[in-house]
Structure 1
Amino acid sequence: MKKIWLFSLPLLFVFSLSGKAQTIDSLKIDFSGFIESYYAYDFNTPTENQKLPFMYNYNRHNEFNINNALLRVKASYENVYASFALHAGTYVEDNYAAEDIKWVSEALVGIYLDKKRKHTVEMGIMPSYIGFETAISALNLTVTRSILAENSPYFMTGLKYQFQLNDKWTFATFFTNGWQRIAKPDKSALPAFGSQITYKPTEKAVLNWSTFIGDEPTEFGLRTRYFSNLFFDYQWNENWRTIAGFDAGMQKSSVGDKHKKWFSPVLIAQYTFNSKWQSAFRTEYYQDENNVFINVNDIAFKTFGNSFNIDFSPTKRLKIRTEARWLKSQEAVFINNNEMVNDNFFITTSMSFEF
């Protein structure tokens, strides 16, 4: 993997020297990147390397670090295109811990099947089709990700077919290696199936419904997982924007025909003061009684959360953000000075730059 990194950096640097886009005959190459540094302080003063075991971003306590640094090259030729991206940071260390290929964020090839580009096929490592929050934090309304987003896929590896019916409706189907997988851990499992329906009634509104069905490996063998993500994103006016989301899933239990279930509603409201200043408030709830995703020593995870952030953008490519976040659980699932407590408060400050 180090050889790939060392080989790719000079190549990306050459592209960057000559501008954002290069055209050779009908070959077009675009170069872009993103880097985000951060400092986080958890008032529960954790002693472990990670603040919280179910968070994968900004997850270092009382430490300056890099959350995500990404370099991407996109190439297109006639009706074919490809994208390749490398990344590094604590987000990669935590979120790709189970993968052998950690430093590749994106590696896919796509083709438009018709002249109007309504039918598209892609294959490779691609961003997840589930949810409204991405690994590029500058695109998200809040600094940290919702518990909902942190415990659903950030990436997928597989095949995607997309059909854009018109400006309002887009449909897609997916066959993947499973729930946030690059390598498939159990080769006997069939490819997981996913779907996505996106409806844009106006330029200011997006309604999205994504699903996942697949067999996931557990200590008791393969167990079928069913999952649904629904969100509505609406820009009310030049000041207000809201996102309402809801996740629900179930997975076959290791005993009998019962299923382990989890769900999470979230509401985010963003207010834009002017071109430089924004703020956002989030309220959320996450319930995982059977510890499918959040393992807290067989204690039912039922947690409310609130956060508030202030964003300052001195230029359109630079963003400085600070967020205060409080989590409150019905049970004592957090650790403070080696004691179990039912709440957690932490502050995160980040600085990011896109190019």
Structure 2
Amino acid sequence: MKNKVSIFLAIVWLACMLPALAQTTADSTASVPSATQAGITFTGYVEAYYTHDFTAPKTSQERPEFLYNHKRNREVNVNLALLKGAYTSERVRANLAVQVGTYAQYNYAAEQPLLRNVFEANAGVKLSRTKDLWLDAGIFTSHIGFESAISKDCWTLTRSILAENSPYYLSGAKLTYTTGNGKWTLLGSVLNGWQRIAKLSGYSGPSLSTQIQYKPSANLTLNWSTFIGSDRPDSLKQPRFFNNFYAIINPNRKVSAILGFDIGTDQKPVGTGSYVWYSPVAIVRYSVSDAVKVAGRVEYYDDKNGVIIATGTPNGFKTWGYSLNVDYVILPNALFRIEGKVYDSRDAIFESKVGLSKTNTSLTTSLAVSF
């Protein structure tokens, strides 16, 4: 309790000091040329939401177990509120962000209590004077996938099933190189595990991860990320190999699309062969105007062996998802969103008013403000 109180007081203090600190930073760096400018910047983000699950019983206060964002049902709550301080100079950088909200409550439940409030904490140094080559270490947001916990940066209000069940954050050390023309980004990292700050008990590790991203133009991004390691104790001998592929296509200012595909394998603990899970997703967004955008999503997640999402049913987790959201930019830093979503499963896995159901229907709204 003392730790939580201390964290809350620190957040309040930072919020009160933001204007003064921002002004001090701006004043102290105003005369420094932009090429060598160094200083501290502070940013913040708050997303409040309300989700109504039409399928679940009235007494149910949580959304399905495989979801970690916008988790609370039929109540106004905060998905994510964070304050971030970032230091940058020509060859050194550091980030520290603290968080509260239901996202942190559910997605960080396996971490040590104090670390559950750490969204990001890392330091980096540029290894070359002439090349964009950085070494960073600490806790950082995951490079795996095209979605993050910060909803305003995602095309849909809620996250895809594949995003909810792959790493949102990673801890370890990473080496990142970006070519001079900005078209290629190469990343290699040594990690404590599959979305783990503290290494899993009984796992000697480490895990490895890579990223290859290619941007031939402003209208196309191609990405391949991998994870090699395990999320099981060494005694089970279940190495994991995971691939994340996606393409972001922006042919014009009106219509854009994201095509994603995840596939992973865990070796079977007994005998030969591997358990396989996979998930394709397609998102199409249409810009009605600068202030209004509409996005639709179709996705499928197949985990028949329950490696990532265990159901205990004959067919395992085999679920389609459909969603449609409308975004309205109230102000440059204020975004209102509403989204309807339907899940359709092979087996009856969703809690309902009359037992278990094969479908789940919900409506989510959110108001996000960044500063």
Write the mapping of 1:36-75 to structure 2, written as runs, cut at 5 A. 36-46=47-57, 47-75=59-87
Equivalent residue for 2:98? Answer: 86
Write the mapping of 1:272-311 to structure 2, written as runs, cut at 5 A. 272-299=287-314, 300-311=316-327
Tell me whether 1:164 sits opposite 2:187 in the alignment.
no
Equivalent residue for 1:153? Answer: 167
1:33 pairs with one of 44, 47, 52: 44
1:10 pairs with one of 13, 16, 20: 13
1:92-133 Cα deviation digits (max 9, x unpaired): 111001011100100000111122341110000000010000
1:340 pairs with one of 346, 353, 356: 356
Q: How far has the Cα of 1:17 moved from its partner?
A: 2.6
Q: How far has the Cα of 1:61 moved from its partner?
A: 1.1
1:21 to 1:272, Cα distance in 2 relative to 1, 3 A: farther
Rounded Cα–Cα distance in structure 2 between residues aligned with 1:298 and 1:217:
22
1:22 pairs with one of 7, 18, 25: 25
Task: Give the stretch that moved more between structures: 263-272 or 27-36.
Answer: 27-36
Does the CA contact (< 8 Å) of 1:248 and 1:261 recur in 2?
yes
Equivalent residue for 2:123? Answer: 109
Does the CA contact (< 8 Å) of 1:42 and 1:62 recur in 2?
yes
In structure 1, the gaps of 5 or more residues are none
1:298 to 1:330, Cα distance in 2 relative to 1, 3 A: closer
1:270 pairs with one of 277, 280, 285: 285
Does the CA contact (< 8 Å) of 1:21 and 1:30 recur in 2?
no
How many residues in Structure 1 have an aligned counterpart in Structure 2? Answer: 355
In structure 2, the gaps of 5 or more residues are 30-36
Does the CA contact (< 8 Å) of 2:266 and 2:275 recur in 1?
yes
Equivalent residue for 1:251? Answer: 266
Rounded Cα–Cα distance in structure 2 between residues aligned with 1:221 and 1:21:
54
SS class of match (1:92): helix
1:325-348 Cα deviation digits (max 9, x unpaired): 001111111121251211111000
Task: Give the stretch that moved more between structures: 297-306 or 234-243.
Answer: 297-306
Does the CA contact (< 8 Å) of 1:262 and 1:287 recur in 2?
yes
Q: How far has the Cα of 1:13 moved from its partner?
A: 3.5
Rounded Cα–Cα distance in structure 2 between residues aligned with 1:322 and 1:307:
10
Q: How far has the Cα of 1:215 moved from its partner?
A: 2.1
Does the CA contact (< 8 Å) of 1:277 and 1:310 recur in 2?
yes
1:149-187 Cα deviation digits (max 9, x unpaired): 000000000000011123211101010001000111236
Tell me whether 1:228 sits opposite 2:243 in the alignment.
yes
* Matched residue type, 1:196: Q
1:228 to 1:113, Cα distance in 2 relative to 1, 3 A: same
Task: Give the stretch that moved more between structures: 289-298 or 203-212.
Answer: 289-298
Rounded Cα–Cα distance in structure 1 between residues aligned with 2:333 and 2:48:
14
Rounded Cα–Cα distance in structure 2 between residues aligned with 1:339 and 1:314:
41
Rounded Cα–Cα distance in structure 1 between residues aligned with 2:325 and 2:265:
32
Equivalent residue for 1:353? Answer: 369
Does the CA contact (< 8 Å) of 1:12 and 1:73 recur in 2?
no
SS class of match (1:223): coil
Equivalent residue for 1:98? Answer: 110
Does the CA contact (< 8 Å) of 1:21 and 1:29 recur in 2?
no
Task: Give the stretch that moved more between structures: 46-55 or 165-174.
Answer: 46-55
Equivalent residue for 1:211? Answer: 226
Does the CA contact (< 8 Å) of 1:39 and 1:350 recur in 2?
yes
Looking at secondary structure, tell me which structure has more strand per residue.
1
1:295 to 1:338, Cα distance in 2 relative to 1, 3 A: farther
SS class of match (1:148): helix
SS class of match (1:19): helix
* Matched residue type, 1:17: A
User: How many percent of aligned residue pairs carry the same amino acid?
Assistant: 37
Tell me whether 1:315 sits opposite 2:331 in the alignment.
yes
Note the aligned Cα RMSD (angstroms): 1.8
Does the CA contact (< 8 Å) of 1:206 and 1:234 recur in 2?
yes
Q: How far has the Cα of 1:59 moved from its partner?
A: 1.1
1:20 to 1:338, Cα distance in 2 relative to 1, 3 A: farther
Does the CA contact (< 8 Å) of 2:203 and 2:234 recur in 1?
no
Does the CA contact (< 8 Å) of 1:213 and 1:225 recur in 2?
yes
Looking at secondary structure, tell me which structure has more helix per residue.
2
Tell me whether 1:202 sits opposite 2:220 in the alignment.
no
1:60 to 1:175, Cα distance in 2 relative to 1, 3 A: same
Rounded Cα–Cα distance in structure 2 between residues aligned with 1:253 and 1:271:
43
Does the CA contact (< 8 Å) of 2:319 and 2:346 recur in 1?
yes
* Matched residue type, 1:201: P
Rounded Cα–Cα distance in structure 2 between residues aligned with 1:159 and 1:322:
38
1:115 to 1:233, Cα distance in 2 relative to 1, 3 A: same
Does the CA contact (< 8 Å) of 1:58 and 1:90 recur in 2?
yes
Equivalent residue for 2:135? Answer: 121
